[in-house]
Amino acid sequence: MMCRRNGNRQQARILVADWDQANAITLAAIMNRAGFKVAIAFDGKEAVEEAEKFRPDLFLTEAYLGRLSGIEAAVQITAALPECRVLFLSGEASIVDIIKAAPEHLVYSYTPKPIHSLDLLNAVAYMLSAEWSTGDSEPGAPDQDRPDSGSGETTALTTCLYAGEGELAAEKKGISDAMLQQALL
């Protein structure tokens, strides 16, 4: 299964940022299993750097990430990628805290933690106007989602699902498929 952003033949991309590595890995596992292409960051600075390479459709972040907060990272990411949506998930910050800290021009949504995975997926699908597919393309049509084999694209955590095949590239952070599976248990 693959999740595509509505009106786009590309697989939807989500950048997950949380200072708590277990939370980040769990969120990435949920998004991964739902068919999204996922990258992970553990602080705001890393999220901004990863967004430059990964070019997410959605930035899913904790509001508080350290020296560069999730709010500040969202401002920088959306300035560079205006089509990127922002969803703040926080067990520490309230919506009032985020409203006070976020600039008026930042468009975002907020949901408190903890959140049930189905509620999270519904929020993400709504924000992306997403649609799920099997990834099967029409017979004879080129697979526009598959990067050239020589593209050299690597991300902190990328799930590529092309026509039913799954590849997991998590070498950068040392996140294994077993860790993602364990996060879902």
Question: 77-128: per-residue pLDDT in tens?
Answer: 999 999 999 999 998 899 999 999 999 999 999 999 888 999 999 999 888 8
Predicted pLDDT of residue 126? 87
Q: What CA–CA distance (Å, rounded) separates 174 from 126?
A: 31
Give pLDDT tens digits for 27-83: 999 999 998 999 999 999 999 999 999 999 999 999 988 889 999 999 999 999 999
Domain 2-135+154-184 is found in CATH 3.30.2030.30: no
Tell me whether strands 13-17 and 58-61 are parallel, antiparallel or unpaired.
Answer: parallel
Asked if residues 161 and 1 have their Cβ atoms less than 8 Å apart, the reply is yes
pLDDT at 184: 47
Q: How far apart, in whole angstroms, are the C-alpha atoms of residue 45 and residue 183?
A: 24
**What's the pTM?**
0.69
Domain range list for the chain: 2-135+154-184
Q: What is the pLDDT of residues 129-184, one digit of tens each?
A: 755 444 544 444 443 433 333 333 322 222 222 222 223 333 345 555 555 544 44
Query: What DSSP designation does 109 have?
Result: E
